[in-house]
Amino acid sequence: MRISEINNAGCRGQVSAKFINKNGLIKSLITRDNIITYSGADIMARILGNDTSYVPGHIGFMYGADPVASTLVDPNLLPDATRRIHPWTTVTSDVADATANILITPLILNAGFAAESSVYSSNIITVAAFTGTRFEYAFPTTGGTYAPIIEDLATCYFYQAIFLNRRKVGDNIIYTPFSRVTLRNAGGTYDAKPAGFELSLYWTISFN
Residue 141 CB: number of other CB atoms within 10 A? 14
Q: What is the pTM of this model?
A: 0.89
> What is the predicted pLDDT for the residue at 117?
52
Phi, psi of 146 (to 5 degrees): -120, 160
Q: 44 pLDDT band (50/70/90 cuts)?
A: confident
Task: Tell me the pLDDT tens digit for each residue of 53-111.
Answer: 888 999 999 999 999 999 999 999 999 999 999 999 999 999 999 999 999 999 986 65
| Whole-number Å distance between alpha carbons of 113 and 122 | 11
| Whole-number Å distance between alpha carbons of 101 and 80 | 27
Residue 1 has pLDDT above 50, yes or no: no
The helix or strand, by DSSP H or E, that contains position 94, with its residue range, turns out to be helix 88-97
Residues 6+ apart with CB under 8 A from 201: 15, 16, 17, 18, 59, 61, 128, 129, 130, 161
Contact 199, 193 (CB under 8 A): yes
Task: Tell me the pLDDT tens digit for each residue of 170-202.
Answer: 999 999 999 999 999 988 999 999 999 999 999
| Whole-number Å distance between alpha carbons of 197 and 200 | 9
Alpha-carbon distances of 114 from 9, 13, 127, 130, rounded to whole Å:
19, 14, 12, 22
| Whole-number Å distance between alpha carbons of 163 and 158 | 15
Closest to 136 (Cα-Cα) out of 37, 58, 53: 58
Burial class of residue 70, CB neighbours in 10 A (0-12, 13-18, 19+): exposed
| Whole-number Å distance between alpha carbons of 47 and 181 | 23
| Whole-number Å distance between alpha carbons of 183 and 129 | 14
| Whole-number Å distance between alpha carbons of 116 and 22 | 31
